[in-house]
Structures are given as structure tokens and as C-alpha cells.
Amino acid sequence: MDRIKIALTLYEQLLITSVTLPIEMLRAGEAFAKRHNRESFTPLEISCLSQTGESIKTPMGLSMEVHSDFITLQDYDYIIVPSIWRNPRPVVAHNPELANNLSKAWYHGATLIGVGTGVCFLAESGMLDSHSATTHWHYAKQFTKSYPHVELKPDYFITQSDRIYTVASLNALADVVVHLIGQFYGKDAANHVQQNFSHEIRKPYEEQRYLEGAVDRHSDEQIAAIQFWLKNNASSVTSLSDVAEQFDMSYRSFNRRFKSATGKTAISYIQEVRIQQASELLSSTNLSIQDIALTVGFTSQSQLSRAFKEQMNQTPSSYRQIVRKKLFS
């Protein structure tokens, strides 16, 4: 059976949660997919690697088992490079083979995810030269001095350049892992993991990352401007033909260009924006579901409930119950 092979690189002074959190989230997505899509299910093979192939003792005194050494990185499909406590320079110096092995793995087709100061290993390899990246805010100034050829984006928690992701925080890592689970196992599995692990992360990965070379994920600047307007005015939109007219476009041309640029209809896009806004209100306010429906632009509670269940695979009330239990228990 084919497997999705995922490696995590271990070294002294690593931030333990940048290893354990993605593993737990990935396993939860895998379990959901196995339960609901057994026929098309692809299992995960998750391994921890180190410079010598020997176990790593963390700053917290815990010993972490290792499956192999960094030379085998090119055998993996996805590689997560965890964050480092305090100054990353000694750790980079003590693991001289990692940067080179990451580069080889990338050229063999691997997708790399650098976390916080772990991004230094990707920068050390030269792969990030003339490309965008982010890192932990506390290390941003020194990162720029150490790697002047990297286009650091400290205002973004996530960047993506081809098959290289960099993330500035654990929350951002969780967003990327949810995004990957969606790619592996579909929207339902991704929603399931997000609901159980990261309700505090409200923006989907696609809406918050810096995607190198993208203009709102496509090159139609007028449609990108319309998307931005719709995000801020979705609740008041009553007629898409009026929106098209506002932007000096025929309704037919508007529909055609929107679908061509985004891969979805304008109606679907507005629906997604409204559901996202409703999700935030459900988790952060005591408004009734009827009031939330009217606030985000639906005509009734039943209309919101139908759309919410279709997109989120649960009712607004059950979503609120789960979120509140996680946030306030």
C-alpha cells in the first residue's frame, strides 16, 4: 500500500511542541480518513530523524526516539523542521549535514515546512535565497543579518514559495498542518482536526499566508479587488449584478472571470465568507443564531443552518458547543 511519508528533524534545543503537535494532528486526520474513507485511504508513515540516527534529549529532559539519520531525508514526501529554543546558531553549527540534506530532499520532490527559528536550516542551505520566508518575531532582526539574501516577511505568520513553507509560530504551524490534511484527506478531515485542535486559529491557511508571486492566488487584479471588497461587504450584498455594475463589468463577464480566476462561483465565495464570519461570531459572542444569520447576510436562521452544515458538516449550534467547550472549559 502506498504511504505518505513524513519526517521530522530532531536536534538538541528543539521546541518539543513543534514536533508533538503536528504528529498528533496528522494522526487525528489519518484516523478520521480511515474511518470515513476506507476504500481510498492512504496511511501516513511518520518518522523522526537526527544527525547521527541516535535519540535526542530535549531541553525539558525528555528523550525522543529516532528512526534514522538525516541522510535518508530524500526518501520522504514531507519534512517538518521544528523550532529551536533561544539562539539557533549553535544548533545549526552542531548539525552541519541537515541543511545540505534538506536541499537534496527538496530537489528529489519533498515539501519542506520550516518552523520558527528552524527556518534557519532552510536558509543555511541557500534554498531561500531571493525567496520569501518568515521566522519567529524575536529572531527576525538577527535572521536578516545572517541571511541577507532571503526576503524576510516578518508581518506574515506563513509564507509559501513553491514546495517550501515557513511559519512563525505554533499556531501558524497548526494552520499549515490543517491545510495539508485537507490535501491528503479532504475538507471533512481538515475540519474535524481543526475543530478538535485549533479553534483559536480562525483564518484558513489560504487567507493568511504570503504566497510568493500571487495576487490573491491569481493574476486577475480586478477580480482580486472584487474579492477584497466582498470580504468586507459580504453581509450587505443582495445582488451580484449590482456588484458587477459597481466594478464596471457586465454580469456575464463578472461570472466568467470570477470562476476562471478563483475556481469557484461568486455565490460560493460569498457563502464561504459568510460562514467564516458566522463561525467567528458563534465562538466569540452570545448572539442568537438568528441574529448571527442576519448579521452576516443570510435571510434566516434556517438558511444559515443549511449552508453551515453543507460547508462545516455540522450545525451552528453544535459548532458553538464544541468551540465554547474548548475555549472556556
pLDDT tens per residue across span 135-180: 998 899 999 999 999 999 887 888 988 799 999 988 889 989 999 9
Q: Which three cell numbers stand for residue 65?
A: 526516539
pLDDT tens per residue across span 29-61: 999 999 998 777 899 999 999 999 999 887 777
Instruction: Reply yes or no on whether the pLDDT at 328 is more than 50.
Output: no
pLDDT band at 208 (very low <50, low <70, confident <90, very high): low
Closest CA to 74 of 41, 43, 98: 98
Share of the chain above pLDDT 70, in %: 91
DSSP conformational letter for 203: S
pLDDT band at 329 (very low <50, low <70, confident <90, very high): very low
Closest CA to 227 of 261, 197, 250: 261
**Average pLDDT over the chain, rounded to whole?**
88
Distance CA 152, CA 90 (A): 21
Residue 203: per-residue pLDDT: 56
The model's pTM is 0.67
Residue 201: per-residue pLDDT: 43
Instruction: Reply yes or no on whether the pLDDT at 247 is more than 80.
Output: yes
pLDDT band at 327 (very low <50, low <70, confident <90, very high): very low
Instruction: Reply yes or no on whether the pLDDT at 128 is more than 50.
Output: yes
Overall average pLDDT of the 293-298 stretch:
93
Residue 177: per-residue pLDDT: 94
Angle between helices 170-185 and 17-36 (to 10 degrees): 20
Residue 176: per-residue pLDDT: 92
Residue 79: per-residue pLDDT: 98
Degrees (nearest 5) of the Cα angle 8, 157, 72?
Answer: 15
